[in-house]
Structure 1
């Protein structure tokens, strides 16, 4: 995805590698509706992986026409988030195989890929191969997120890709629903550019796990390791405020033994028990930092953070931050510094 003018570029650190950036496109201000459409048509044709042609759905362009796009590039995959105003799009197919996993945020009147034409409902998730011709007709506009991936990195041959394309909406697949959809829904976090060095292998691992599940084939455990870690961390993030969450609960969720779970997290900064404890400590620090924290008892804050007792919270705060609860309450700046350090350790 490329910027076509200075207006479309978000100022970034010039020393940061080019692939380590979120790029944004929006139609420049000061153009009339017809000029906006022509600008979008020109940009879209140059930015999307397969040569495409956009056409209006009506004779005239509506006055509020303002499509946008964001992209994140990395070796082996890219994320593109597009909001199309009313338009039809056509492409003849690309000579180089180009595979997409597309998550439709809104409905589309008609999508046609590989000779199959259908209406698409909001939330639908499908695989597509842009080496084949296709089109879409979106008279009400269209919002979608797509992952472009290198089939070679996932070990997919033409037959496997064809099987994936033949699958109907896959949003109900457990890996899709519990791991990949939440990632696609929240990928535009402000810190994502800083996470790029670790993002590519995680996305590859997620996609490998998804493809293995959909095709009912065995994947190399090493290939899906990061996807498993990401799924377990997400489970812990959802449940750490519940004092009943223990390593045993995570073992049951993951269908792994304690030993297997330990080895899975061997190279991570924290083991599962440490991750749970760090999240609870971070939550406690953030509650203590609130302007109204004086209205709550420390016992109440401990319970809200997932600790079984005030004493457990005291120990965790001291061991993970070096602060007593009194220090944390009396020195807001130091509290924020320690919270930031814990946040880095517990990032998804």
Structure 2
């Protein structure tokens, strides 16, 4: 649904100054019937359209416990909902609302832009709440969606109609390799602190996806952040391999070395710097476990992706300003020095 998860009807919203992720869960101590009524009241206040939520069965099961999380950013929002068994209907009396929904579980029947069908786990579709629709989830379902402003992407009604008419797009390589991992892991705790940085990244990823689906060229500048995100993902997946070098990243990205450097020109960490930073942080984490695992420093260097112990020593000195011995003997200072480096690798 088109959701902005607002205040909990029973009290204040579950949100703090440092956590912009809003959460909903039925309160404890209620009967199953009372839980359903609480959820129905919340649902009616959270959905930006007239909806009617009904029971899927006469009796509400004892373990009834739906949940939802949302994060609102400039020009986009992310919502993760786990619905308990229920039926929902809406008449489309709202402004055009475009979003991409990823079903983690099956749903017996869901209306997609005027067409009703069952969906299987992993289905990904574009959706428009301004059209009448419904869903019947006798077993409940779990889904994640990203809502985006079509004007932000420069899409007209004709383009959106084509996108919403597409069948399940889960096999699209951009969606499978970049957007789905982002949707699956957006609840990580640091994302709320990065909210101001996310809008251009989300826009770039959606532009790359739309350009691919519509077989239409996109402005290279619009795709820049999506390409950076893809390269960073590749590096994160492979930095523990000592064979990973800038040349390997060049081969993966299908860019020249010069073009790759230009792509990361405005980033705080260049490609080689990101690889070294991730290896250093991995080594720090492994050092914290050294007493348990009784691993040698040479073993830790290799497991972190360094080609030698001396390379790991240089990285410690250059990136966190501590010798390897000082890092081992001053864990509190190491934690302070490491915090900034971790933030750089997360941007």
- Give yes or no for TM over 0.5: yes
Structure 1 window deviating more from structure 2 (161-170 vs 289-298): it is 289-298
Matched with 2:314 is 315
Q: Paired residue for 1:154?
A: 153
Distance 1:22 1:81 in 2: 11
Q: Tell whether the 8 Å contact from 1:287 to 1:301 is kept in structure 2 after alignment.
A: yes
CA contact (8 A) 2:54 2:87 kept: yes
> In the alignment, which residue of structure 2 is the partner of 1:102?
101
Q: C-alpha deviations, 1:118-170, integer Å up to 9, x for none?
A: 11111111101111111111000111111111111011111111111111111
TM-score by length of 1: 0.95
- Supply the distance in 1 between the matched residues of 2:158 and 2:15 (Cα, whole angstroms): 43
Secondary structure at the counterpart of residue 92 of structure 2: coil
Shift of the 148–11 alpha-carbon distance from structure 1 to 2, 3 Å rule, reads closer
> Deviation string for 1:86-145 (max 9, x for gaps)?
001111113411011001011001112233221111111110111111111100011111
Q: Find out whether 1:233 has 2:237 as its counterpart.
A: no
Query: In the alignment, which residue of structure 1 is the partner of 2:9?
Result: 5
Deviations 1:221-266 (A, max 9, x none): 1111111111110110000000111111111111111111111111
| Counterparts of 1:227 and 1:11, CA distance in 2 | 29
**SS of the counterpart of 1:227?**
helix
Q: For the residues of structure 2 that align with 1:115 and 1:183, how far apart are their CA atoms?
A: 28
**Contact (CA 8 Å) 1:12, 1:21: kept in 2 or not?**
yes
Aligned residues: 343
CA distance in 2, matches of 1:154, 1:244: 38
In the TM superposition, residue 55 of structure 1 has moved relative to its aligned partner by 1.1
Q: Cα–Cα, structure 1 residues 291 and 284, in superposed 2: closer, same or farther, change >3 Å?
A: closer
Structure 2's unaligned 5+ residue stretches are none
- Partners of 2:297 and 2:328 in 1: CA distance: 11
Hey, what does 1:42 align to over in structure 2? Answer: 41
SS for the counterpart of 2:52 is strand
Task: Quote the Cα distance in structure 2 between the aligned partners of 1:99 and 1:119.
Answer: 20
For residues 124 and 100 of structure 2, what CA distance do their matches in structure 1 show? 7
Question: Is the aligned partner of 1:284 residue 2:288?
Answer: no
Cα displacement (A) at 1:8? 5.8
Per-residue deviation, 1:6:
5.0
Whether the 8 Å CA contact 1:79–1:147 is kept in 2: the answer is yes
- Which residue number corresponds to residue 297 of structure 1? 296
Deviations 1:19-63 (A, max 9, x none): x71111111223222222122112112212332111111112112
Distance 1:185 1:289 in 2: 28
Alignment partners' CA distance in 2, 1:95 and 1:7: 27
Q: How does 1:248-287 map to 2 (within 5 A)?
A: 248-287=247-286
RMSD: 1.5
Report the counterpart of residue 126 of structure 2 in structure 1: 127
Q: Tell me, in whole angstroms, the C-alpha distance in 2 between the residues paired with 1:294 and 1:341.
A: 27
Alpha-carbon distance between aligned partners in 2 of 1:226 and 1:203, rounded to the nearest angstrom: 9
**Partners in 1 of 2:37 and 2:277 — Cα distance?**
52
What is the Cα deviation at residue 347 of structure 1? 0.8
Work out the CA distance in 1 between the residues paired with 2:96 and 2:228.
Answer: 30
Query: 1:104, 1:122 within 8 Å by CA — same for their partners in 2?
Result: yes
CA distance in 2, matches of 1:94, 1:339: 51
Instruction: Pick closer, same or farther for the CA change 1:331–1:131 going to 2, 3 Å.
Output: same
TM-score normalised according to structure 2 size? 0.95
Are the aligned partners of 1:8 and 1:28 in contact in 2 as well (CA < 8 Å)?
A: no
Other structure's SS at 1:292 match: helix
- Distance in 2, matches of 1:115 and 1:205, equals 28
